Amino acid sequence: MSELVLVTGATGYLAAHCVQQLLQQNYKVRGTVRSLGNESKLKPLRSLDKASELLELVEIDLGDTIEKWTRVVSGCDYILHVASPFPIVADDSVIQVAVRGTLVVMEAANKCYGVKKVVLTSSCAAINEGHADENKVFTEGDWTDIDSPKVRSYPKSKTLAEKAAWDFVKNMETGNKFSLTCLNPTLIVGPLITVDQGASVSIIKRFMSGAMPALPYLQMAFVDVRDVAKCHILAMKAKQSDGKRILVTQTPSLWFKDVAEILRKEFGQFNYPIPKYMCPYLFLWIYSFIDKESKEILDRVNRHIKFDNSQAQAMLGLEFRQIDESLIEMGHSLIDNEILPRRNGYEERNNNNQK
């Protein structure tokens, strides 16, 4: 009998890829969704190969009771806790949602003796924010300093949620003593299965829609969504990852001008308004008064983003995809899913999400 894996937030960008890869490997999957009434949102999951035999969707929210979550977790062998808010512009409300959502899943796993392991989707934002030396190479041993005035609400939410999970496991004295692995991906890109428009989609959409009139001197680390999903499943099964944090990222990081050049080579011929010119800090600072997303990145301008991904490679044997291809596939996916308009001369490209 195949094992049952709970995937929280199953219609999300990353979670949908986790569901797809689990089904491909013949796991039974129980996916949580906020509503079973939105069939258009659920259709991409129900259309996945083997979904009719192996996929069950259940309606529950991170704010629901521990009793309800215990019923959902009951019978599961593993939990991939992927669901968590990731707005580009966040306020402190995301902290409570992230921490409470993480703890309710931990508590439910502690009550259900069949659960062997929880894999928690954390973030690099729980690692490299608020440090005196922002340009050093960051590893899993680093933690974001939430007391730094530079650290905004989203990094605080991911840091506090991950710490709450580790504290919960450390202090378990009774009940089901499951294992925990936390994954810390950088910005996730690549093709879409669902049309969930989280931060990753919003950022690449801005590159291609004209919403980014010029390029800030901003560097980011990227990772392909399929690699992150694969890492969840590898960590789920790998005993050596128990009790570990794992940075999940391709290296080196890319400047926004590099991202724009990659996208322009592919989509410029179709007249997508991908920015060409750099934005001086003064102009960005002025623009931030009318654009909240620009304000969010002011502290990150001219930072060199460096991560050590050797643990993911050594412990899980993961080989990361090249990000230029991931970005191109994501651009096509945004157009094919009508998140971006189809311009004259554009021909649909068949993204193969199953690789």
Q: Per the structure block, which two tokens stand in for 57?
A: 């969707």
Closest by CA position to 33, among listed 186, 194, 161: 194
230/80 Cα distance (integer angstroms): 12
188 three-state secondary structure: strand
106/114 Cα distance (integer angstroms): 13
Q: Per the structure block, which two tokens stand in for 296?
A: 């969010």
**Maximum separation of any 2 CA atoms in the chain, in Å:** 63
Q: Per the structure block, which two tokens stand in for 195?
A: 């049309």
192/177 Cα distance (integer angstroms): 35
Residue with tokens 């806790």: 81
172/107 Cα distance (integer angstroms): 10
118/104 Cα distance (integer angstroms): 12
Contact 90, 157 (CB under 8 A): yes
95/126 Cα distance (integer angstroms): 12
Hey, which residues does 184 pair with through a beta bridge?
247
Which residues are part of the catalytic machinery? Answer: 158
Contacts of 174 (CB under 8 A, 6+ apart): none
Handedness of CA 255, 280, 200, 235 (dihedral sign): positive
Q: Which helix (H) or strand (E) holds 5?
A: strand 4-7
24 three-state secondary structure: helix
137/127 Cα distance (integer angstroms): 11
201/189 Cα distance (integer angstroms): 8
